[in-house]
Chains A and B, each alone.
Chain A
Amino acid sequence: AQTVTQSQPEMSVQEAETVTLSCTYDTSENNYYLFWYKQPPSRQMILVIRQEAYKQQNATENRFSVNFQKAAKSFSLKISDSQLGDTAMYFCAFGHNNDMRFGAGTRLTVKP
């Protein structure tokens, strides 16, 4: 069974600075997908970024980028130029076929 581990329950960062959220996963599959979702206080789940396992190039979406290390089964999220609106829970997720497994989440607080 696939498992996703987020070892940082809480993190904080100063506005405009950079922060990295960690995620590791365990799987025997070779083809799969990885995601970072954001859940602000509104409770809405919002996709931040995604990565296909067979692509070596790290995905980037504006201020958000990932460091995907397939051999190490690591998928960290880097947020550059942090903004107050980035304050939220961040969930790492693993997808294979129609199955989706989420990590426990990291609560990120951006301080002014």
Chain B
Amino acid sequence: DAGVIQSPRHEVTEMGQEVTLRCKPISGHNSLFWYRQTMMRGLELLIYFNNNVPIDDSGMPEDRFSAKMPNASFSTLKIQPSEPRDSAVYFCASRTGNSYNEQFFGPGTRLTVL
């Protein structure tokens, strides 16, 4: 298995532009998580899906952020419009079963908003 796949690995954009981050979870995993990592705030859970349904999006910082999971093998995190303070590494993780099971993380997308 290729593990969790994220694209792009690096994204540089200008303030005000729309940014879309993509994630392909491990096949068979029924839970998917989006995290944001910054020096100031550490690793924050933004949203998680269970069986493609968003369960808790309380971590999403603003309405500028949205996430979708149209099917079991694909999810997107969109920022529109982007701002410099959105610069961070965004991780996607997937897991099967319950909370005890390991979350497998993707390599992350480093986003820089100029």
Known: A91-B43, A98-B56, A105-B42. A43 touches B100 (CB 8 A): no
Task: Establish whether residues A47 and B42, one from each chain, have CB atoms under 8 Å apart when the complex forms.
Answer: no
Interface-centre pick from A98, A101, A104, A105 (highest chain B CB count, 10 A): A98
Q: Is B75 an interface residue (CB 8 A)?
A: no
Q: Is A25 an interface residue (CB 8 A)?
A: no
Least CB distance from A38 to B in Å reads 11
Task: Establish whether residues B105 and A100, one from each chain, have CB atoms under 8 Å apart when the complex forms.
Answer: no
Q: Is B93 an interface residue (CB 8 A)?
A: yes
Q: Which residues of B contact A45 (CB under 8 A)?
A: 91, 93, 105
| B 57-114 contacts with A by CB, 8 A | 89, 91, 93, 99-100, 102-103, 105, 107-108
Least CB distance from A89 to B in Å reads 10
Known: A33-B100, A43-B89, A103-B42. A98 touches B55 (CB 8 A): yes
Docked Cα-Cα span, A91 to B44, in Å, equals: 12
Task: Establish whether residues A102 and B99, one from each chain, have CB atoms under 8 Å apart when the complex forms.
Answer: no
Least CB distance from B55 to A in Å reads 6
- Among all A-B residue pairs, the 6 with the closest Cβ atoms: A45-B105, A102-B43, A95-B99, A104-B42, A47-B102, A33-B100
Give 8 A-B contacts (CB < 8 Å), ordered by A residue.
A33-B100, A43-B89, A45-B91, A52-B100, A98-B99, A99-B99, A100-B99, A101-B45
